[in-house]
Amino acid sequence: MYLKTRRFARMKIKVLTILLIFVLSQKATGALVEDLDISFNSTEVYATFSFSLNQGELETLKRGGQKEIIFYIDLFRRWEIFPDEFITGLKVVRVLYVDPMKKEFTATSFDGNTLIEKRFKGLESMLKWAFTFKEVKVADLKGLPEGIYFVKVTAESKTKKIPSIITDLLIFLPSREFRVSLHSPPFKWDKNEIRVMK
């Protein structure tokens, strides 16, 4: 009886410890993907959107360091019964560097083909350039089957505090600081015209 009670108490402590680690590891995010707007030119789909960090992450960036944010701009086909089908997408990696002592503000952008590096006079102009996307070509619908489609924009930042091997072993620890996404209104493609649905 004594051993059973002791084992039960140990198991309760282990479960409570795991739950406590899980709760403490969850981080509230104030990062947002905003103002997602889609436009069309013939059969091509374009996305315009902006992104903003939360106040805490902005303050950390102002003190100096590096911040990497990955943007996924994806086209999905909507299904009623089945999960939405991924069609194509674009990955854009934006990295921000701030050195407050030298007053240096540098940002890079890489979309898989082109690497752009820019220097800025201040943090605000760097954030505006790095977090504003205008008419990014998402896909050409020519050749795709008729159906209902939408654009999904996802922004994520991976945490650098925990090595990836630990997050692979301890799956309850987060591997990202944040991951936020926003969907566009759906639109119908019928091989002749594109019609935005309300």
- Give the residue extent of every domain in the chain: 29-196
Instruction: Give the β-pairing of 44-52 and 194-196.
Output: unpaired
Tell which phi-psi region holds residue 65, choosing left (phi > 0), alpha (psi between -120 and 50) or beta: left
pLDDT digits 0-9 by tens, 5-15: 666 556 656 54
Give, in degrees to the nearest 5, the angle at Cα 153 between 128 and 66.
Answer: 45
Token pair of 191 as six digits? 């091989």
For position 11, what pLDDT does the model report?
Answer: 63
pLDDT over 60 at 22, yes or no: no
pTM: 0.77
CATH no. of 29-196: 2.60.40
pLDDT digits 0-9 by tens, 43-100: 899 999 999 888 888 888 888 888 899 999 999 999 888 899 999 999 999 999 998 8
| Cα gap 36→21, rounded to integer Å | 35
| Cα gap 63→60, rounded to integer Å | 5
Burial class (CB in 10 A: 0-12, 13-18, 19+), 115: exposed
Centroid of chain to Cα 57? 15
**String of b and e for 147-174 (b: at least 16 CB within 10 Å)?**
ebbbbbbbbbbbbeeeeeeebeeeeeeb
